[in-house]
Chains A and B, each alone.
Chain A
Amino acid sequence: MRRVVITGAGTINALAEGVAATHRAMAEGRCGIGPLNFPDADRLNIRIGAQIRGFAPQDRFDLSKLALYDAFTQYALVSADEAMAQAGLEAAPDPARWGVILGTAGGGHTTANDAYRAVYADGKNRVHPFTVPKLMANAAPAHLSIRYGLQGPGFSVTTACASSNHAIGLAFQMVRAGLADGMLTGGSEAMLNFGGLKAWEGLRVMSPDGCRPFSADRNGMVQGEGAGVFVIETLEGALARGAAPLAEIAGFAMNSDAGDIVMPDRDSAARAIVGALADAEMAPEEVGYINAHGTGTAANDRIETAAIRQVFGARAEAVPVSATKSMHGHCIGGTGAVELLACLMALREGVLAPTLGYGTPDPECDLDYVPNTARRGVSVGAVLSNAFAFGGSNAVLALRAI
Chain B
Amino acid sequence: MRSDVQNQVLSIIAREALRAPEDLRNEMTLDELGLDSLGLVEVIFAIEETFDVSVPFNANDPAAAQFDISSVGAIIAAVEKLISGDTPSAAVA
* A interface list, Cβ under 8 A from B: 45, 202-208, 218-220, 260-263, 297-299
Interface size on B, residues (CB 8 A): 17
Neighbour of B61 across the interface among A45, A260, A262, A298, CB < 8 A: A298
Q: Which of B38, B41, B60 contacts A298 (CB 8 A)?
A: B60
**B59 CB contacts on chain A under 8 angstroms:** 203-205, 220, 297-298
- Bound complex: CA of A45 vs CA of B65, how far in Å? 15
Residues in A neighbouring B18, C-beta threshold 8 A:
none
In the bound complex, CA of A49 to CA of B19 (Å): 40
With A45-B93, A208-B93, A299-B60 known, 9 other A-B pairs at CB within 8 A are A45-B90, A204-B41, A204-B58, A208-B58, A219-B60, A260-B36, A262-B38, A297-B59, A298-B60
The answer to whether A203 touches B41 (Cβ under 8 A) is yes
B92: CB under 8 A from chain A?
yes
Interface centre among B57, B60, B93 (most CB of A within 10 A): B60
State in angstroms the CA–CA spacing of A218 and B61 once bound together: 8
12 contacting pairs across A/B (C-beta < 8 A): A45-B54, A202-B45, A204-B41, A204-B59, A205-B59, A208-B92, A219-B60, A219-B61, A219-B64, A220-B60, A261-B38, A298-B61
Contacts of B60 in A (CB 8 A): 205, 207, 218-220, 297-299
Give chain B nearest CB distance to A393 CB in angstroms.
Answer: 17
- Encoded as 1 (CB less than 8 Å from any A CB) or 0, chain B from 80 to 93 comes to 00000000001111
In the assembled complex, the CB of A53 is this many whole angstroms from the nearest CB of chain B, namely 24
Q: Is B79 part of the contact surface with A, judged by Cβ < 8 Å?
A: no
B91 to chain A: closest residue by CB: A45
* Nearest-neighbor residue (CB-CB) of A206 within chain B: B58
Contacting B58 at CB < 8 Å: which of A220, A260, A261, A299? A220
Which residues on A sit within 8 Å (CB–CB) of B41? Answer: 202-204
| Cβ-closest 5 pairs across A and B | A298-B60, A204-B59, A220-B60, A219-B60, A219-B61
